[in-house]
Amino acid sequence: MNIDWDLDVQDFPVELKLLLELIDVETDAEAQAMIESSGRQINWQSFYSLTRHHRVYPTIHERLSHHPLSVLPKGMVQQLSVDYSRNALMMLQLSGKMKQVSEALDNKGIYALQLKGPALAEALYGSLSRRTSKDLDILVHPDHIEQAEEVLEQLGYTKTQEVSRIVSDWKWRQNHESFTHADTGTEVELHWRLNGDAGAEPSFYELWNRRQTLEFAGTDVHMLSNEDLMFYLTAHGARHAWFRLRWLADIDRLARMELDWDKLTALLRRYKCTHLVGQALILSAAMLNTPVSREMASLMSTDRPQDLARRVLIFIREKVSLCPEPESEILAQIYRNYLFSLRTPGQKAIFLARKMVPDTWDTQTLPLPKSLRFLYYPLHPFLLLHRRIQRRSALEREVGQ
């Protein structure tokens, strides 16, 4: 691990340190040396659990598959092999579904960009089996949401996570809905924005005009350009406090590819998110030894991205799952404070101003029939206070235990 970026990871568990080292190494000989030097200290069950939590078991399987079984627990190596094979099959199936959905959308004249899934695995790792994905993430123009929904429904997908459309600005506050195929269980997230309630971002057609295209079994599949991928993946990882190392591994791979850093820097400045990419690069350089160029260093060298990088270490160290918040109210409060710190001063002002008007949380706290929804405006301060009292009570109970 590179310590030049002032991240204190000394209190990381030895299993997590080994995991980071194995993600970074390039040869079997290096992996073997690392295992032999720390193997006796390792709780291999905890190590295996970390590979699952961080979704990096395909990489770890490749690192360990040629290692003498006398050194490693045979059962763990076999389980990693099972996980690897299962993921390879799932990614092949997702690839087929991606091809089917892409063709169906194209036939309806709907432009679509693949955000992650098999397309990202192929673009960054050159192999479907090298990265995990549980679903397809597809971005369409906000004006084409309804048409894209109809296409998915015709293909057998049912909406399983729906955004409340009671509040008029739902397209700005939220960024996707989820669908699941009734027969195969395949999940699709239909996006109309890259990031929900996160300020300005490039328009769909800007992203479309800069797209890159991959071929899957004779079908062209479109995805974000490398510069737009860095913009999107860092915002996504930052919003989730980088609690999965898979996302940092993606940043490491992308940073080692050919990027137009001048174009990327201009994009980041335009949308006021240089601190997010700086945070990601600091974490990647410190934990995965990502080579740091002069252009990268200029994004990493200010106080704000360094502070943001230090803030997320607790979530990585404690193996926290942020879906959508930690179960611990103490960690949830730390996480909410961290999310607020990601915002620019202008975004913070907008965020606080929007707290003064009704939102989807109000509709969930107190469902009202359509004829009475005007009451959300006078009731909003009281519903907001009610939710804060509930959170404070939960925090006090947790501290008192």
What per-residue confidence (pLDDT) applies to 175?
83
Other CB atoms within 10 A of residue 213 CB: 9
Least confident stretch, 215-224, 359-368, 370-379, 383-392: 383-392
- What are the residue boundaries of the structural domains of the chain, listed by start? 99-223, 355-400
Model confidence at 13, pLDDT cuts 50, 70, 90, reads: very high
Residue type, position 190, single letter: L
pTM of the model: 0.87
What per-residue confidence (pLDDT) applies to 232?
96
> Does residue 386 register a pLDDT over 90?
no
> Does residue 74 register a pLDDT over 90?
no
> Does residue 3 register a pLDDT over 90?
no
Please, what is the average pLDDT of the chain? 88
Q: Which residue has the higher pLDDT, 353 or 50?
A: 50
Model confidence at 385, pLDDT cuts 50, 70, 90, reads: confident
Q: Cα separations (Å) of 192 from 14, 114, 172, 197, 252?
A: 41, 12, 9, 12, 27
Q: What pLDDT digit, counting tens, does each position of 86-110 carry?
A: 999 999 999 999 999 999 999 999 9
| C-alpha span between 271 and 274 (Å, rounded) | 8
> Does residue 2 register a pLDDT over 50?
no
> Does residue 16 register a pLDDT over 60?
yes
Least confident stretch, 67-76, 221-230, 319-328: 67-76
Q: What pLDDT digit, counting tens, does each position of 246-295 carry?
A: 999 999 999 999 999 999 999 999 999 999 999 999 999 999 999 999 99
| C-alpha span between 296 and 291 (Å, rounded) | 9
Write the DSSP assignment of 74-130 as a string of letters. HHHHHHHHHHHHHHHHHHHHHHHHHHHHHHHHHHTT---EE-SHHHHHHHHHSSGGG
Q: Which helix (H) or strand (E) holds 281?
A: helix 274-288
Model confidence at 168, pLDDT cuts 50, 70, 90, reads: low
Q: Which helix (H) or strand (E) holds 135?
A: strand 135-139
Q: Which residue has the higher pLDDT, 3 or 57?
A: 57
Least confident stretch, 60-74, 175-189, 198-212, 299-313: 60-74
Q: Look up the CATH number of domain 99-223.
A: 3.30.460.40
> Does residue 354 register a pLDDT over 50?
yes
Q: Give me the mean pLDDT over the 179-202 stretch.
A: 89
> Does residue 70 register a pLDDT over 70?
no
What per-residue confidence (pLDDT) applies to 167?
61
What per-residue confidence (pLDDT) applies to 277?
97
What per-residue confidence (pLDDT) applies to 163?
76
Q: Cα separations (Å) of 375 from 137, 318, 369, 386?
A: 36, 42, 10, 16
Model confidence at 329, pLDDT cuts 50, 70, 90, reads: confident
Q: What pLDDT digit, counting tens, does each position of 33-50 carry?
A: 788 777 678 899 999 999
